[in-house]
């Protein structure tokens, strides 16, 4: 006997499709979660209208992190843009660097050395691990399981050490530069990386036992916030959110870039994209990234040039053209649309962050009829990073 | 009956006048006041020591610096050792860490949150973007100098500052508090007009009370 | 090659404009604004371009035009096609496509706010999206000067210097003269 | 002569509570591979919160909420004997103190509910509705267990119940009536505000539930209660089910061990939604309580 909630008090739809919410009737309560709210992924806000314990309408408010990157880049030279692009998305900045660099290289007709491709792939996979580790902690934290966040942040710090060794910075690496990468791997990097990977694997084993096999976690996460496969196209859903619904939508496989054609892997998929499956897909994707890093470190050439010769970057002009470069980041399809007009500055840069559709259109749809307790977990499970929405 | 408990007419931020009955509903248009240390010096010293050893950070990640707050609270850096915790509500927090650039839209929320905190309260600006705009010096949507809008006790430079820098910064803040120099809330009350004028000059659609606690 | 074939079959029916092949899997096609909706529907339903990757605008201030770019992706065939629509810059208006892709409404809200392009009938179009209380011209337009705005509104800290990189390098390398 | 001794009990228990909760927090931090807070951190927090310069009010009930809560904790502690067989620390216990204790368990929460509702914060209201509904479900098995114990020993006096358990460890209610103890311990988990039953405070959803608006000395009062009330509650459990304590060291040890039960469960579990936890209590804990009553 399934429990049927009584929804007779819920607001009716008006003629123009919006809900007829009469706050004065006392049946509904308006709740703001954010921007100052610990359950929100970063600096954004959701405006909920609740009836009883369930949400009848949710609206996402973004723009709190807007710095106007796309405008700022229009008044910076191509090389000056390179250090600011990584600031667009904080938890996984390398994709900005890669997509921007690749777009510039394509329009300027630069050939990037083979080794640089391998190092770029390595960096991107390392960034993906960081991002997923952060997510796992956040997802468990949204259900009140703080200890997972402690463990994953601990191993994330180890991965940041590897980043620091390679690029000199913990968060903003500024390593993938148009024309290649800044440097080759340091001496003995592979061995230290292996130690880190083993540590992460062992922690993930703990996480699997404590989080994924936990009865309470299953009770909270299974069957909540299901994304039906037919929503994928209409809402522009990509990445693990789509893969959890059973569609193997992975740019690394679909339209391979960098050295992914030479690596041996299968896209991770799940069934029924609920919170639990999405978390599980991300955990397995994390294991896949560990495997990919091992493959890269074995297969990559050991020496060679990492940088192609650039023209004088102070007077670098790129002929008129437009292109779109995409990559599979931890949240889905990340892309840069770059338009040049023959001058020394980009005419227009548009960043396509996967959170853009996930956290606005998709979230507003999924949150309807969700329990208030599940709203934070639902938002986290879509793995949204606000800075890439508003840039 | 005390005068402040009698019925009175007030003018709301939207210009509408309405009657307030203080015994039944609570409305206050009074601005912040300077809070003097009311006790003898030794007690104030003791309190200052307690304040410095128990810093509760407001859980509001206003910018990208927030990403280093999590490592700060986890095994590698473990700021709990120094009496630093985060609190989810401004009422219980003492320290507002402005973690990076502030867009004007966030600034509005930051002011509201700051004014709801109880004095003494401290503000730490993180990253070069709170100091002089940093990378976003020519952006139309981010402020450049945080101390124009809120009284800042301490800046931690960097883009972004490492957790070690944060810990060192907090140690410096503790020294300031112990020395009785971290009186940002009083500074805000004394120069209230100036701060409000600055805030209103960048927030073009000011649609909230002048002071909301 | 495949993209060229697609272009050739669609050209007479939708009176397509200029064709630019960027990569083997990416091409840009210019379309007239009135035929866009039908073409999008055809591409989505018949040709398998089911995924709207992005919708954005480019301001060609010199020509007095906005270029709207609709980028579609066909996952099965591994192809991308970008549709360029040029519309007049004054009182820019474009047909909404939120009925084809629900997520497009968000893009249209952003374009309305950042470029001032109107999309009649698009849901919640006039709500604040990113900016709040914005009173100047839409900031992504080319004639909006962000530096000037920043200098007028936000005070600099004394002592901060801004240098032009080309001038600065020249001075560093070759001295004052 | 009773009042000074009762105050001494209060003093000992508050200090013990401050240190023990910090210790438990440290143990929890070790699970997360952290060092955790200094052991005296709770004192500093308390001192700081009492020393804040401003505080604002939302009305009379807002003042009284923490006061009610604290008096609930103090009352609970003072009407139950802390140390068995000690004239000094038997406090104000009397023949029917078990009933009064049950009342005090609820009293603080109800006062808090009124105070938090007065604060006008929507999250405080949500937290309170959650808290009251969850507590009703959680206290039901406890009440049943208490009835079972009262029936078993044919008395409503805590002192007599403790007296009946003396002699051997096998005389403890834990062994003579395990079902009642099981039901009561499940209820104990629910009342300690730790996962999986901390949806009331859930910082990720309703930051942080009822005390959202509380600050400065109000918060300090509530912090005092947060160290006092669990100990007072555990004293009842200890007296009813675990043979009481004949001296302070045994008292400290038993209270710590019983407290650790909830900390142990809480550190690795996520939290239930409120209707899930109510269902959990009704399915698992209440039948145990009924069996306990029936078996006596």
Average pLDDT on B188-210 reads 85
Report which of B140, B138, B108 is spatially closest to residue A61, judged by C-alpha positions.
B108
* Greatest distance between any 2 Cα atoms in chain C: 65
Average pLDDT on A239-252 reads 88
- Choosing among 3.40.50.12280, 3.30.420.10, 3.30.450.70, 3.40.50.10330, the CATH entry for B41-199 is 3.40.50.12280
- Are D251 and D236 in contact by the 8 Å Cβ rule? The answer is no
Average pLDDT on A228-254 reads 87
Q: Which residues pair with A48 in a beta bridge?
A: A31, A58
pLDDT of residue A183: 87
- Read off the pLDDT of residues A50-86 as tens digits, 9 standing for 90 and up: 888 888 888 888 888 888 888 888 888 888 888 888 8
- Look up the pTM and report it: 0.91
- Are C33 and C85 in contact by the 8 Å Cβ rule? The answer is yes
User: Could you tell me whether strands A332-340 and A321-329 are parallel, antiparallel, or unpaired per DSSP bridges?
Assistant: antiparallel
Domain ranges of chain C: 2-174
DSSP single-letter state for residue B92? G
> Mutation test of the interface with chain B: which of C133, C136, C154, C157, choosing the one with the most B Cβ atoms within 10 A?
C154
Instruction: Say if the Cβ atoms of A43 and B61 lie within 8 Å.
Output: yes
pLDDT of residue A1: 45
Question: CA-CA distances (angstroms) from residue C75 to A67, C42, C78, D40?
Answer: 33, 16, 5, 60
A-to-D residue pairs, Cβ atoms closer than 8 angstroms: 81
Chains touching C, CB cut-off 8 Å, 3+ pairs: A, B
Query: What is the 3-state secondary structure of C137-167?
Result: CCCCCCCCCHHHHHHHHCCCCCCCCCCCHHH
* Torsions phi, psi for A338 (to 5 deg): -120, 130
DSSP H or E segment with residue D144: helix D122-153
User: Could you tell me whether strands A332-340 and A346-352 are parallel, antiparallel, or unpaired per DSSP bridges?
Assistant: antiparallel
The whole-angstrom separation of Cα D95 and Cα A322 is 88
The encoded tokens of residue B210 equal 């002048």
Question: What's CA C27's distance to the chain center, in Å?
Answer: 16
User: Could you tell me whether strands B122-126 and B154-156 are parallel, antiparallel, or unpaired per DSSP bridges?
Assistant: parallel
Instruction: Say if the Cβ atoms of B137 and C160 lie within 8 Å.
Output: yes
Question: CA-CA distances (angstroms) from residue A18 to A12, A25, A32, A375, C120?
Answer: 9, 18, 19, 21, 16
Query: Residue C177 above 80 pLDDT?
Result: no
> Mutation test of the interface with chain C: which of B125, B129, B134, B141, choosing the one with the most C Cβ atoms within 10 A?
B141
Query: Residue D116 above 90 pLDDT?
Result: no
- Residues from chain A that touch D122, judged by Cβ atoms under 8 A, are 29-31
Average pLDDT on A337-359 reads 89
Query: Residue D243 above 70 pLDDT?
Result: yes
SS3 content of chain D, % helix, strand, coil (to 5): 70, 0, 30
pLDDT of residue B135: 84
The whole-angstrom separation of Cα A91 and Cα A70 is 19
- The helix/strand/coil state of A258 is coil
- Read off the pLDDT of residues B67-108 as tens digits, 9 standing for 90 and up: 888 888 888 888 888 989 888 888 888 899 988 888 888 888
- Read off the pLDDT of residues B155-190 as tens digits, 9 standing for 90 and up: 998 888 888 999 999 999 999 998 888 888 888 888
For Cα atoms D185, D186, D188, give the angle at the middle one, nearest 5 degrees.
60
- Read off the pLDDT of residues A126-139 as tens digits, 9 standing for 90 and up: 999 999 999 998 88
Confidence of residue D58 (pLDDT cuts 50, 70, 90): confident
- Read off the pLDDT of residues B30-58 as tens digits, 9 standing for 90 and up: 777 788 776 788 888 888 899 899 899 98
Partner C contacted by A314 (CB < 8 A): yes
The encoded tokens of residue C8 equal 């050739």
Partner C contacted by A291 (CB < 8 A): no
Residue at token pair 């790129």: A318
Residue at token pair 């408010």: A61
Q: Which residues pair with A327 in a beta bridge?
A: A334
- The helix/strand/coil state of D187 is helix
Instruction: Say if the Cβ atoms of B104 and C132 lie within 8 Å.
Output: yes
- Read off the pLDDT of residues A164-221 as tens digits, 9 standing for 90 and up: 998 888 888 889 988 888 888 888 889 999 999 999 999 999 999 888 898 888 888 8
- Residues from chain A that touch B141, judged by Cβ atoms under 8 A, are 66-68
Confidence of residue B122 (pLDDT cuts 50, 70, 90): very high
Q: What strands lie across the sheet with C51-60, from one edge to the other?
A: C19-23, C26-31, C79-88, C65-74, C51-60
The encoded tokens of residue A196 equal 């880190």
Neighbouring C-beta atoms of residue C163, cutoff 10 Å? 9
- Are A209 and A196 in contact by the 8 Å Cβ rule? The answer is no
Confidence of residue B5 (pLDDT cuts 50, 70, 90): low
- Are A331 and A108 in contact by the 8 Å Cβ rule? The answer is no
User: Could you tell me whether strands B95-98 and B122-126 are parallel, antiparallel, or unpaired per DSSP bridges?
Assistant: parallel
- Read off the pLDDT of residues A274-306 as tens digits, 9 standing for 90 and up: 899 999 999 999 999 999 999 999 998 888 888
Domain ranges of chain A: 71-135+144-203+226-364
Average pLDDT, chain C: 86
pLDDT of residue A195: 92
Instruction: Print burial letters for A322-339: b (CB count within 10 Å at least 16), e (below 16).
Output: bbbbbbbbbbbbbbbbbb
Q: Which superfamily is assigned to A71-135+144-203+226-364 in CATH?
A: Cytochrome-c3 Hydrogenase, chain B (1.10.645.10)
DSSP H or E segment with residue A58: strand A54-61
- Read off the pLDDT of residues D269-292 as tens digits, 9 standing for 90 and up: 888 888 888 888 899 889 999 998
Is domain C2-174 in CATH 3.40.605.10, yes or no? no
Q: What percent of chain C has pLDDT over 90?
A: 3
- Read off the pLDDT of residues C72-81 as tens digits, 9 standing for 90 and up: 998 888 888 8
The encoded tokens of residue A101 equal 């660099």
Query: Residue B1 above 70 pLDDT?
Result: no
Q: Which residues pair with A328 in a beta bridge?
A: A333
The whole-angstrom separation of Cα A375 and Cα A358 is 14
Confidence of residue D136 (pLDDT cuts 50, 70, 90): confident
- Are D201 and D142 in contact by the 8 Å Cβ rule? The answer is no
Instruction: Say if the Cβ atoms of D205 and A373 lie within 8 Å.
Output: yes
The whole-angstrom separation of Cα D206 and Cα D201 is 7
B and C touch per CB criterion (3+ pairs under 8 A): yes
- The helix/strand/coil state of A281 is helix
Confidence of residue C128 (pLDDT cuts 50, 70, 90): confident
Domain ranges of chain B: 1-29, 41-199
């Amino acid at each position: 006997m399934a429990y049927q909630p009584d929804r007779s008090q819920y607001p009716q739809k008006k003629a123009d499709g919006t809900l007829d919410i009469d706050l004065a009737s006392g049946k509904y309560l308006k709740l703001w979660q954010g921007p100052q709210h610990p359950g929100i992924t970063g600096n954004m806000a959701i405006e909920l209208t609740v009836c009883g314990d369930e949400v009848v309408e949710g609206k996402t408010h973004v723009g709190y992190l807007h710095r106007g990157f796309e405008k700022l880049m229009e008044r910076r030279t191509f090389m000056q843009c390179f250090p600011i692009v990584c600031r667009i998305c904080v938890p996984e900045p390398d994709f900005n660097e890669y997509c921007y660099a690749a777009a510039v290289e394509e329009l300027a007709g630069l050939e990037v050395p083979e080794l640089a491709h391998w190092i770029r792939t390595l960096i991107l996979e390392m960034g993906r691990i960081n991002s997923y580790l952060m997510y796992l902690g956040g997802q468990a934290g949204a259900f009140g399981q703080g200890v997972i966040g402690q463990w994953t942040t601990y191993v994330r710090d180890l991965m940041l050490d590897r980043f620091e060794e390679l690029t000199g910075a913990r968060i903003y690496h500024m390593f993938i530069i148009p024309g290649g990468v800044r440097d080759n791997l340091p001496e003995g990097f592979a061995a230290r990386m292996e130690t880190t990977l083993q540590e992460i694997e062992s922690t993930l084993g703990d996480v699997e036992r404590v989080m994924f096999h936990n009865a309470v976690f299953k009770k909270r996460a299974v069957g909540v916030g299901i994304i039906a496969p037919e929503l994928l196209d209409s809402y522009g859903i990509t990445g693990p959110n789509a893969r959890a619904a059973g569609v193997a939508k992975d740019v690394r496989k679909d339209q391979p870039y960098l050295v992914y054609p030479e690596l041996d892997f299968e896209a991770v998929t799940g069934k029924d994209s609920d919170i639990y499956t999405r978390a599980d897909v991300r955990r397995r994707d994390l294991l896949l990234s560990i495997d990919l890093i091992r493959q890269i470190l074995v297969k990559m050439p050991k020496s060679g040039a990492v940088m192609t010769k650039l023209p004088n970057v102070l007077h670098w002009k790129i002929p008129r053209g437009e292109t779109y470069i995409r990559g599979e980041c931890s949240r889905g399809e990340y892309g840069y649309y770059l338009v040049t007009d023959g001058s020394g500055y980009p005419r227009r840069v548009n960043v396509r962050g996967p959170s853009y559709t996930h956290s606005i259109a998709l979230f507003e749809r999924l949150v309807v009829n969700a329990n208030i307790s599940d709203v934070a977990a639902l938002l986290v499970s879509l793995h949204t990073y606000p800075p890439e929405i508003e840039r | 009956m005390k005068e402040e408990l009698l019925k009175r007419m007030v003018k709301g931020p939207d210009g509408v006048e309405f009657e307030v009955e203080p015994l039944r509903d609570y409305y206050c248009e009074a601005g912040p006041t300077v809070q003097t240390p009311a006790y003898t010096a030794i007690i104030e010293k003791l309190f200052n020591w307690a304040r410095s050893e128990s810093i509760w950070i407001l859980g509001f990640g206003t910018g990208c610096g927030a990403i280093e707050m999590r490592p700060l609270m986890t095994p590698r850096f473990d700021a709990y050792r120094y009496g630093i915790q985060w609190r989810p509500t401004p009422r219980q927090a003492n320290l507002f860490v402005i973690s990076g650039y502030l867009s004007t839209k966030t600034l509005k929320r930051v002011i509201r949150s700051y004014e709801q905190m109880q004095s003494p309260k401290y503000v730490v600006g993180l990253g070069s973007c709170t100091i002089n705009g940093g990378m976003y010096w020519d952006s139309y949507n981010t402020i450049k100098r945080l101390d124009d809008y809120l009284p800042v006790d301490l800046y931690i430079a960097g883009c972004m500052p490492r957790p070690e820098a944060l810990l060192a910064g907090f140690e410096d803040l503790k020294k300031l508090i112990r020395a009785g120099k971290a009186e940002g809330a009083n500074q805000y009350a004394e120069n209230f007009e100036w701060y409000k004028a600055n805030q209103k000059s960048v927030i073009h659609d000011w649609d909230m009370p002048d002071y909301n606690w | 090659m495949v993209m060229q074939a697609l272009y050739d079959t669609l050209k007479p029916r939708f009176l397509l404009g200029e064709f630019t092949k960027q990569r083997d899997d990416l091409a840009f096609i210019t379309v007239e604004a009135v035929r866009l909706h039908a073409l999008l529907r055809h591409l989505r339903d018949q040709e398998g371009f089911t995924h709207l990757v992005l919708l954005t605008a480019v301001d060609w201030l010199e020509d007095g035009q906005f270029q709207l770019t609709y980028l579609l992706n066909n996952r099965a065939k591994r192809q991308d096609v970008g549709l360029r629509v040029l519309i007049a810059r004054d009182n820019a208006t474009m047909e909404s496509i939120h009925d084809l892709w629900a997520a497009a409404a968000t893009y249209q809200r952003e374009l309305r706010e950042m470029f001032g392009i109107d999309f009649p009938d698009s849901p919640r179009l006039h709500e604040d999206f990113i900016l709040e209380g914005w009173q100047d011209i839409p900031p992504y337009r080319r004639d909006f000067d962000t530096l000037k705005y920043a200098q007028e509104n936000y005070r600099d800290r004394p002592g901060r210097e801004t240098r032009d990189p080309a001038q600065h390098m020249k001075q560093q390398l070759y001295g004052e003269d | 002569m009773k009042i000074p001794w009762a105050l001494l009990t209060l003093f000992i228990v508050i200090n013990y509570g401050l240190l023990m909760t910090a210790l438990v927090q440290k143990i929890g931090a070790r699970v997360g591979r952290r060092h955790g807070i200094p052991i005296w951190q709770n004192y500093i927090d308390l001192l700081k919160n009492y020393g804040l310069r401003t505080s604002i009010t939302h009305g009379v009930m807002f003042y009284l909420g923490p006061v009610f809560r604290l008096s609930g904790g103090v009352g609970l502690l003072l009407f139950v004997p802390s140390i068995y067989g000690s004239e000094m620390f038997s406090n104000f216990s009397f023949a029917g103190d078990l009933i009064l204790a049950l009342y005090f368990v609820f009293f603080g929460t109800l006062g808090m509910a009124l105070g938090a509702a007065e604060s006008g914060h929507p999250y405080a209201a949500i937290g309170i509705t959650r808290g009251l509904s969850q507590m009703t479900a959680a206290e039901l098995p406890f009440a049943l267990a208490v009835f079972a114990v009262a029936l078993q020993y044919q008395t409503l006096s805590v002192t007599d119940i403790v007296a009946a358990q003396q002699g051997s460890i096998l005389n403890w209610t834990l062994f003579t009536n395990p079902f009642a103890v099981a039901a009561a311990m499940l209820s104990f988990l629910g009342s300690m505000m730790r996962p999986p039953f901390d949806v009331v405070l859930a910082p990720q959803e309703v930051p942080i539930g009822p005390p959202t608006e509380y600050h400065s000395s109000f918060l300090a009062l509530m912090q005092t209660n947060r160290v006092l009330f669990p100990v007072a509650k555990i004293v009842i459990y200890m007296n009813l089910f675990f043979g009481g304590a004949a001296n302070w060291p045994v008292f400290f040890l038993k209270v710590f061990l019983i407290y650790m039960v909830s900390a142990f469960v809480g550190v690795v579990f996520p939290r239930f939604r409120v209707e899930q936890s109510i269902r959990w209590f009704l399915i698992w804990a209440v039948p145990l309580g009924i069996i306990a009553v029936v078996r006596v």
